[in-house]
Structure 1
């Protein structure tokens, strides 16, 4: 079968290779991949790929072989999945605890755009706690996580301010109900919760916007620049502010995938997909995603769905 493997070339990060079809473990289903969605963090891993790296964590497709242990969906079921690796291929083995069935109303492109960004948004907001009536600041809001987080937080009753690099990147967030600014400094605090994903000089500035006793959830470093905090600067900032590290990972993913599917099916969550292309265009798409030339999610398709 064909799969995409890393090249180590930043201008052409992946290329096609012929590899054996994966052999599922007892608790894994074999999925015919019909669409997949790369994430910006994956583009960084491809710059200096470790030996044996098989990228791909967000997929949608068809179960062609059910798990031998009887768990999970049966053969012929349309699914969305979040494997640990190997999703940029014609077939992928996925643990059944990381799959969710798809209703007829959700197409493969929409489904593939859900997993990592959607699960991150769900778990991030659960960590933040009840948002009704609370003031929330979200930095780095232009990507997939930012769009899901904005729609879910506003629906939960948050008064949300989203920071985007440009007005164009903030248009949809404003329609979703966020107040949009383009510099952290322009956000009018104080905020009960800050959701920070850019790092570099932005985190200390965002931290200064936290109300006394408030929380900053640090869930990314999209700027790829380390953070420097000065203790004495904090003395003039918020009292008793808490910085909490957040990372989305941790199986099982199936229940959260099912929640995302249900929200989309009921019209309560609307993925923004900035590009859809055949997977022969994956290398160019990865470069554009890395360089922030795609707003929202990018989805690659592997042929006509069954």
Structure 2
């Protein structure tokens, strides 16, 4: 099969080449991948640390080519969205049936491929807050992949959504269209205290966002884009400091994400959630996509279409 292989001699660290087909375990479905999305952490850290000829890729969407031998998961021919630690940047992917979501009918595979890491992270982070109805929820880094899904899902759950971004003038209309009630230039600009924060940024913004929590407020730390330390002021965690909480987050918590991927995929397919694709092309343009992702030349998600050997790059 063809795949994007790690090759540290190329500008992107990737090259389109040939490798062996995966051999699914009994509990895995064999999926023919038609689209994948790039996460910033993959292109900024994972590629550089992986050995040559490795097939990476967390997010992918496609069609089940061969159902799992143990009878679990969807039948052959089903459109699916998949999540895994590797293997998404290839024509074929062996996926645990608990880590794929099925979609009835036609859906754009590029849109579905934006869901696994970004969508599932946003959904699980927001679930840590319990009911969102009537709560004031702040999302930092709101124009990123996780942030955009978090804004939409928080609004979907009945929250008053405050989107924090470094460019509110340029991104404000876009974020309001996704569901934000307010768009601010940073947590310190929030006019009132909030009940919950999904923090996708880290560093000083995490400290500022924590300081904006109301009594019994809750912050979930899902990202560390800045790579800067968090230096909290003296007394920030002392008893009596409004009983606020901050918790870490991991998507790999041992709970199969299949049901959540299915729910999210159904919402995207129905148009209830917007995938926020900002860059899209065939996987022959991987160098361009990685450079754009690293250069932060766009907000939202980058999608690579897995074109047939005789196909041409998409737009």
CA contact (8 A) 2:103 2:266 kept: no
CA contact (8 A) 2:143 2:300 kept: yes
SS of match in other structure, 1:48: helix
Q: How do 1:238-249 and structure 2 match up within 5 A?
A: 238-249=241-252
Note if 1:193 corresponds to 2:196: yes
Q: 1:31 corresponds to which residue?
A: 31
Q: 2:18 corresponds to which residue?
A: 18
Note if 1:205 corresponds to 2:208: yes
1: CA distance, partners of 2:47 / 2:256? 29
Q: 2:170 corresponds to which residue?
A: 168
The alignment covers a number of residue pairs equal to 305
Q: 2:219 corresponds to which residue?
A: 216
Q: 1:153 corresponds to which residue?
A: 154
Q: 1:139 corresponds to which residue?
A: 140
1:187 positional shift = 1.7
2: CA distance, partners of 1:148 / 1:232? 33
2: CA distance, partners of 1:177 / 1:276? 24
2: CA distance, partners of 1:141 / 1:238? 27
1:22 positional shift = 0.7
Q: How do 1:1-306 and structure 2 match up within 5 A?
A: 1-8=1-8, 11-46=11-46, 48-51=48-51, 53-166=54-167, 167-178=169-180, 179-232=182-235, 238-249=241-252, 250-303=254-307
CA contact (8 A) 2:78 2:104 kept: no
Mark the CA change 1:20 to 1:216 in structure 2 (over 3 Å): closer, same or farther: same
CA contact (8 A) 2:112 2:268 kept: no
CA contact (8 A) 2:57 2:88 kept: yes
1:261-290 superposed Cα distances (whole Å, 9 cap, x missing partner) = 222233321211111100011122122112
1:80-100 superposed Cα distances (whole Å, 9 cap, x missing partner) = 111221110111111111122
Q: 2:311 corresponds to which residue?
A: none
With normalisation by structure 2, the TM-score equals 0.90
Q: What stretches of structure 2 of length at least 5 have no aligned partner?
A: 309-313
1:232 positional shift = 4.0
1:226 positional shift = 2.4
With normalisation by structure 1, the TM-score equals 0.92
Mark the CA change 1:113 to 1:233 in structure 2 (over 3 Å): closer, same or farther: closer
Mark the CA change 1:140 to 1:291 in structure 2 (over 3 Å): closer, same or farther: same
CA contact (8 A) 1:131 1:156 kept: yes
